[in-house]
A and B are shown apart, each in its own frame.
Chain A
Amino acid sequence: MRMSGPLLKVEDLTKHYPIGAGFLRKPFSAVRAVEDVSFSVEAGETLCIVGESGCGKSTVARLLMRLVDPTGGRVLIDGTDIAGLKKHELRAYRRRMQMVFQDPYSSLNPRLTAGQIITEPVENYERLSRKQREALAADLLHKVGMSPEMMHRLPSELSGGQRQRLGIARALALKPSIIIADEAVSALDVSVQAQILNLLMDLQQQLGIAFVFISHDLGVVEHLGHRVAVMYLGRIVELATCEALFAQPVHPYTEALIASAPVPDPTRVRLEAPVAGEVPSPINPPDGCAFHPRCPLAVERCRIEVPPLVPMTDGRVVACHVRAPASGLQAQSAAERDCPTVRLAGANESIRKSEKPNIT
């Protein structure tokens, strides 16, 4: 058993993809996919990573699994840095971390039966007799709420929800302590999505598995997560507990993101989009804070200096010169003093309750 410290710790993780590199030719530029990302995950916890396309959240997932090698930084599992491990050394650690993918169609081998798919990870490590294999498959299927007869089916004979259950069963096969789920429910219809989210929460309760849950869907994240990291253009801009983040977002981007999500309540009338403009290219990110070109609060300093992640009194960290000036733990009070009422347009002003239907 582990003694103390977080199960997974990520320190200054960075990944640059070179552009224009060739034989004997130096790359002239790089896609800065992930920059200085740090976080930790405790046993049995769900850490969510949210952000829009291109923010680097999937690259983080791939770095955690070491499906790609980092340009810099460390990924520690129980104190061991897997970024520096050799291939054979890595094998032992791969058992600890498993992954569930977004697309339940392309992530399952169409020629293997359900039973073969979910027992394959174990056979990678040890020999199983036919009996053992069937018992294991039945047990795993049971864990994800499927009947044992399903083990003889092919993926093409299963529904989208059942396939995603298979993906989860496969991830469970090696009894990992942490599962990385990259948009695991995004491709599913809401009624099926509800089933899978319930399954994930049940598994966490029964088996104490930690999740790194990557999603763009804030509703899902709020429902499932314990803590949330918000990423923008390769960096974490805010990391807080789920309650705190959704109750009171501090970073202007977090605020805009939450305000942008459509709400199934027709009495809420949106007057304007919460944030203008689009995400800049990670090849040539803006100087200073990457969000400054879209940020209504931006000041001169935001254009020049990258804001550091500053801890606030409630334990969250925020990277914003305006809302979280880098004066240590007084940050929260400073933010409150400096801009008590400055909220983004989307958060308050552009949404008002209407008593009568919005019929023109």
Chain B
Amino acid sequence: MQMHNTIRDEVLLDVRSLETHFYGEESVTHALGGISFQIMKGETVGVVGESGCGKSVTALSILRLLPKLTARTVGGEVRFHGQDLLKLSEQEMRKIRGGKIAMIFQDPMTSLNPVYTVGHQIAEAIQIHTGVSRSSALTEAEEMLRFVRIADPERRVSNYPYEMSGGMRQRVMIAMALACSPELLIADEPTTALDVTIQAQILRLIVDLKERTGTAVMFITHDLGVVAETCQRVIVMYAGRIVEQASVMDLFARPMHPYTQALMHSVPDRRRGRQSRLPEIPGIVPNLRDPIIGCSFAPRCPFAIDICREKTPVLRDIESGHAAACWRSEEIVCA
């Protein structure tokens, strides 16, 4: 395994060769093609990639929240504190979800129940996982609202979701997720639906709370700017596989996979001059229903040679703590 020389010594989450398939009427989509990574205690790890790269499926596979009829994790292990979550019973898994591992979603409107007050919903999570009385759970809910810096929490605790703005609802989601002091928080595009000034507030809040509580965060996003501002380590995904993994500093200073490089270049950047042509990534993302031979990025890659089209590159350390799944990373970085 790579990435042993990271920040903390204690591994919290150890994902090994995780493989998830989606089943259509006539075809099987290989949404996750055997990914392996670790998250250390208290670490913030960003998972970036474009639509369909498997970043959300990774989160759902870890928490075993995939749609039962159409998807299945067919291989691999998800070790949390050394225990394989994929082997737990549904009942045991329920204790983990929302307890030791919490998740916040992109859309704070649809992930809150519209017919209960936010205080009720936070208190419910606290009661289920800690077994305290209803009244003390409600007091704690109010405390959590104060913790996520909602003004006037005494009043807000009895608000319904529709009475709150998008930014405030996302704060409620965070309060609910942190209410049971999870060791791992999975945040799936938590600020994508928010305005930039509110996004800046929520990102700051997540970073602050993470520092205060020591919770590890798995931060799923498509926005490289968000990753740069919040994460310590980054995993870049493409077509259901991890293509690069590095500390945030190394990744932005020396991206080693051609896809990461292309992704960074296609974002408009004032340093490259206005009105200039943006470098495009030619072609489209491969269809994950067809078997992929060789590197999945090879058809779009400017550096692809014969070996790239024939053999699948494995994720390997190019430098200490900086891994890439590319046959030519050494040459590309030097070039």
Contacts and interface: CB of A to CB of B under 8 A. Distances in A.
Interface in B28-42: 42
Size bracket, chain A contacts: 35 or more
Contacts of B50: 189-191
A154 B276 CA distance: 33
B132 interface: no
B182 to A, nearest CB: 18
A230 to B, nearest CB: 12
A298 B198 CA distance: 20
A268 B196 CA distance: 17
Nearest to A272: B204
Contact of B196 (A159, A193, A257): A257
Given A194-B266, A216-B196, A266 B284 contact: no
A274 B167 CA distance: 15
B149 to A, nearest CB: 9
Interface string A43-64: 0000000001100000000000
Interface in A253-292: 256-257, 259-268, 270, 272-276, 278-279
Interface in B192-235: 195-201, 203-204, 211, 222-229, 232
Interface in B257-282: 262-264, 266-270, 274-281
A265 B200 CA distance: 15
A346 B277 CA distance: 30
Contacts of A257: 196-197
Contact of A52 (B168, B197, B266): B197
A236 interface: no
Given A257-B196, A257-B197, A191 B270 contact: no
A141 B234 CA distance: 39
A219 B249 contact: no
A197 interface: yes
Given A223-B270, A264-B269, 10 more contacts: A52-B195, A191-B262, A191-B281, A194-B266, A224-B268, A243-B274, A261-B225, A264-B264, A275-B197, A278-B198
Interface of B: 7, 42, 50-51, 165-168, 195-201, 203-204, 211, 222-229, 232, 247-249, 252, 262-264, 266-270, 274-281, 284
